[in-house]
Chains A and B, each alone.
Chain A
Amino acid sequence: MMRASLAVLSVLIVALSCGWASAQDDPVPIETGLAPPDTIPDILPPAPATDLTAVDLVDNDDAGDKIELTWTLSPDDAGGMRDVTGYYLWRSESPDARGDTLALVVAGTSSFVDDTAVPGVPYYYAVTATDGTSLSGEAAFGPVSGRRDWFTVSRLAVLVLAAIFFALVLAFTRLAEKGAELFVRRIPGLNAIEEAVGRATEMGRPVLYVPGIGEIDNIMTIASLTILSHVAKITARYETPLIVPTARAVVMSAAEEVVKEAYAEAGKPDAYNPDNIRYLSDAQFAFAGAVNGIMLRERPAANLYLGAFWAESLLLAETGFEAGAIQVAGTAMVSQLPFFVTACDYTLLGEELYAASAYLSREPKLLGGLKGSDWMKIITIGLIVVGIIMNLAGADAFVEWFHTN
C-alpha cells in the first residue's frame, strides 16, 4: 500500500515537473489551430480562471474586428499549486457550445485581443486554465460583438484644428468676395518675374516657363498654373513668345487652357501659339534633357521654374545659368530649394509660391486660403508657446492631447 502511494506520488511529481518545464519552454502565445488536450486523463486539474470579460476594442481605423478579452488568473497560476502552464481561449456563436479554440496563451497572461471577429456577429467566449495535462472548469462571457466606429477619438485634435482652419478660410474668403481689402505683402520674387519678361522682350528672345514635373493634382502645379496665367498676360502684352514644356499630358491640357485664356484676356488671341505648349516626356531625366536642349537651341532670355521639382532642378537651373538667362524659381519642395537658391537670380521659397498666386490673381478663394493659413500660423505659434510653458510646469496633458496615432 505504502509502495503504491509512493508510486502515485512519484507519477504526480513527474507530471507536475513536466508541466512546469513546458511552461518555461513556452514563452510566447501560441495561436489557433492546436487541438486542446481533452483526451488526456485528468489527474489533478488546475483551479479555473474567473471574471472573463470581453469588450469591443476601439482603436484607430477601427473596423470592428477586434474584441479584447480579460480575465482573472487561476489561483494555481502564480500561487497555489503553481502548475498552470497556460490558458485556452474559446469562441462560439452559440451559448450552448464551447466552440473552437481561439488561442493558447502562456501562464501569467490575463488578456488577449481577438482580431478575427466579424463585425456585428455576437460571440460567446470562454477561458480554461491548463496544466499541460488537464483543463480546468471554464469562465464564460457573452454575447459580445465588434462594431465599426465612425470616429477615432485619438484624432480629435485633427478635427478641431481642421475645423478652425476651414472656418478661418471660409470667413476670409467671404470677406474677400464682399470686396474687403485684404493686405498681402509684396513678394520680391514677383517683381523679378516682370523684370525677366521685360528683359526677354528687349532682347527679342522667348520666355521659358517650366511648371515642374508634378501631376495636376499637385497643389504646387495648380499654384504654378495661376502664375503662368499672369506671365502669359505679360508676354501677350509684349508679344514675346512663351514656351511651356510639360512632363504630364494633363498638365499640358491645363496649361494650354490657361495660356489661351490669358492671351484672349490680354486682347491678343492671335498671338497665342499652341505649338509652344509642349509635352516632352513623363520620364524625369528625359524631360530635363529635352528642356536643356530648348534652353541651348531656342535661347530663352528668361527661365521661370515654378512648381514641383525633384532631382532635375539643378540640371535645369545650372544649364539656364550657363546659357546666361535671368532665372526665377519657386517650389515648395524643401529638398530642391537649395539648388534654386544657388543657381537662380530669385527664388520663391515654399509657401511664397502659393502666396504669389494669391497675390497676382486676387482671387477671393486663394486670398481666403492665404489669410486663413496666416492666422493658423498664429494659432500654431500660440499653441507651441503654451505647450512649452505647460511642459516646463510639468503638466504635459496639454501636449499629450495633440498626440495622434
Chain B
Amino acid sequence: MTLTFIWTTVGALLTLCVYSFLYKDNPFYKFAEHLVVGVSAGYYLVIYYFNFIDPNVVRPVFQLELGGEAVAFGGTEWWMALIPGLLGLLLYTRFFPKIAWVGRWPLGIYVGGYAGLGISPVMQARVIDQMQAASSPLAGVPDPFAAATNAALGFAIFVVLTYFLLVKRHIVARGIAMSIGAVVLSAVAGYGGYVVLSALSAQGVVSMTNILLVVGLLGTLAYFFFSMRHAGLLGGLARIGIIFLMVGFGASFGYTVMSRISLLIGRVSFLLTDWLHLI
C-alpha cells in the first residue's frame, strides 16, 4: 500500500512537472524531460537486445535453449542468423573513416529489401482495391448514406450561395434587411436542393454519395498531378480536390482533438482519483 502510494506520487509529481510547461519552460519540466529521455534510452537498449538481437542472433548461433527447446532462426540453418548479425555489425564501420563506406551496404540491403517486399501489397491495397471500390455504380443502386449526403449537399448549397450573395454580390453592404433576405433565400435554396436530391435518391435514379466519392477522388488525384501547371480543366479539378482534402482534414482534426481530450481526462482522473482520492 505504502509502496503503491509512493510510486503513484512519483507519477503524479512527474505529470505536474510536464504540465508546468503550459506556463513556460522551467527547471521542473527540464528535469522531467531529461528523465524520460534518459530512461527511454536505457529501456529501448534492453528491449532491442532481448527482442531482436538475443532471439535472432545470439540464441540461434550459440544454440542456446529457450523453454527447453533450441532456438532456430526462422526454421532455417543456424548459420543463416550470422548474415543479419554481420550486416548489423557493419553499421559500426562508420567509426573507422577508412572503411566507413562499408556501412552503406547494410543500409542499402535494408532499404532495398523493404521497398521490394512492399511493392506488391501496396499496389494491391492502395491502388487496385481502392480503384475497384471507386468504380461504383452512380445510379440504380441502393444508397445507404443518402440522407447524410443529401443533407451535406443541401448545407453546402446554403453556405456557397450565402457567401456568393453577401460577399461577391456585396449585399452585406446594402443593409441588414437585404442581408437577412439573402440568407433566407440561400436557406430556401439549400432546403430545396435537399428535397430534390432526396427525391432522386428515393427513386434510386442516382447515388449522390457515389457521385461525390468519384468527384472527390478525381479532383484529389488531379491536385497531386505534378507534370502540368494547375490551369484550365486540371486547375479546376485540382481546386475541387483541395476542397475535399480540407473538408477531410477538418473532420480528422475534430475527431483527433476529441481523443486527445479523453487523454487529458484520463490524466486528470489519475491525479484526482488514484493520487488524491478526491473522486
Given A281-B40, A402-B131: A290 and B224 within 8 A (CB)? Answer: no
Q: Does A162 contact B (CB under 8 A)?
A: yes
Min distance, Cβ A199 to any Cβ of chain B, angstroms: 22
B-contacting residues of A (Cβ < 8 Å)? 155, 157-158, 161-162, 165, 182-185, 187, 216-217, 219, 222, 250, 253-254, 280-283, 285-287, 289-290, 292-293, 296-297, 314, 334-335, 337-339, 341-342, 349-352, 355, 370-371, 374-378, 380-381, 383-384, 387-388, 390-392, 399, 402-404
With a cutoff of 8 Å between Cβ atoms, the chain A residues found around residue B217 in the complex are 384
- B139, A335: Cβ atoms under 8 Å? no
Of B59-67, B117-125, B186-194, B270-278, the segment with at least 4 beta carbons within 8 Å of chain A is B117-125
With a cutoff of 8 Å between Cβ atoms, the chain A residues found around residue B110 in the complex are 216-217, 250
Q: Does B138 contact A (CB under 8 A)?
A: yes
- B224, A387: Cβ atoms under 8 Å? no
Q: Does B148 contact A (CB under 8 A)?
A: no
Of B49-57, B170-178, B197-205, B250-258, the segment with at least 4 beta carbons within 8 Å of chain A is B250-258
Q: Does B134 contact A (CB under 8 A)?
A: yes
Q: List 17 interface pairs A-B (beta carbons < 8 Å), by A numbering.
A: A184-B226, A253-B103, A280-B37, A281-B36, A286-B40, A292-B21, A335-B256, A337-B249, A337-B252, A351-B224, A374-B226, A380-B221, A383-B135, A388-B137, A391-B135, A391-B137, A402-B132
Q: What 20 additional pairs, Cβ within 8 angstroms, besides A281-B44, A286-B36?
A: A158-B128, A217-B114, A250-B110, A283-B44, A285-B36, A286-B37, A286-B39, A286-B40, A289-B18, A289-B32, A289-B37, A334-B252, A339-B256, A350-B224, A374-B225, A377-B225, A381-B221, A391-B137, A392-B138, A402-B131
Q: Does B245 contact A (CB under 8 A)?
A: yes
Bound Cα distance A250, B87 (Å): 13
Binary per-residue interface labels of chain B (193-223) against chain A in the complex, 1 for a CB within 8 Å, 0 otherwise: 0000000000000000000001001100100
Given A157-B128, A184-B227: A338 and B252 within 8 A (CB)? Answer: yes
With a cutoff of 8 Å between Cβ atoms, the chain A residues found around residue B119 in the complex are 162
With a cutoff of 8 Å between Cβ atoms, the chain B residues found around residue A165 in the complex are 123
Given A283-B44, A374-B226: A384 and B134 within 8 A (CB)? Answer: yes
Bound Cα distance A143, B29 (Å): 74
A-contacting residues of B (Cβ < 8 Å)? 18, 21, 25, 29-30, 32-33, 36-37, 39-41, 43-44, 91, 94, 103, 107, 110-111, 114-115, 119-120, 123-124, 127-129, 131-132, 134-140, 214, 217-218, 221, 224-230, 245-246, 249-250, 252-253, 256, 260
Closest to B129 in A: A404
- A250, B137: Cβ atoms under 8 Å? no
With a cutoff of 8 Å between Cβ atoms, the chain A residues found around residue B131 in the complex are 380, 383-384, 387, 402
Given A216-B111, A222-B111: A387 and B37 within 8 A (CB)? Answer: no
**A371 in complex: contacting residue of B111, B137, B227, B252, CB < 8 Å:** B227
Bound Cα distance A260, B26 (Å): 34
- A253, B94: Cβ atoms under 8 Å? yes
Min distance, Cβ B11 to any Cβ of chain A, angstroms: 15
- B129, A162: Cβ atoms under 8 Å? no
Given A157-B128, A216-B111, A355-B226: A290 and B37 within 8 A (CB)? Answer: yes
**B218 in complex: contacting residue of A158, A222, A384, CB < 8 Å:** A384
With a cutoff of 8 Å between Cβ atoms, the chain B residues found around residue A314 in the complex are 260
With a cutoff of 8 Å between Cβ atoms, the chain B residues found around residue A351 in the complex are 224, 226
- A387, B230: Cβ atoms under 8 Å? no
Bound Cα distance A253, B128 (Å): 36
- A388, B226: Cβ atoms under 8 Å? no
Given A371-B227, A392-B138, A402-B132: A254 and B44 within 8 A (CB)? Answer: no
Bound Cα distance A283, B46 (Å): 13
Bound Cα distance A24, B258 (Å): 53
With a cutoff of 8 Å between Cβ atoms, the chain A residues found around residue B25 in the complex are 293, 296-297
**A387 in complex: contacting residue of B39, B129, B135, B225, CB < 8 Å:** B135
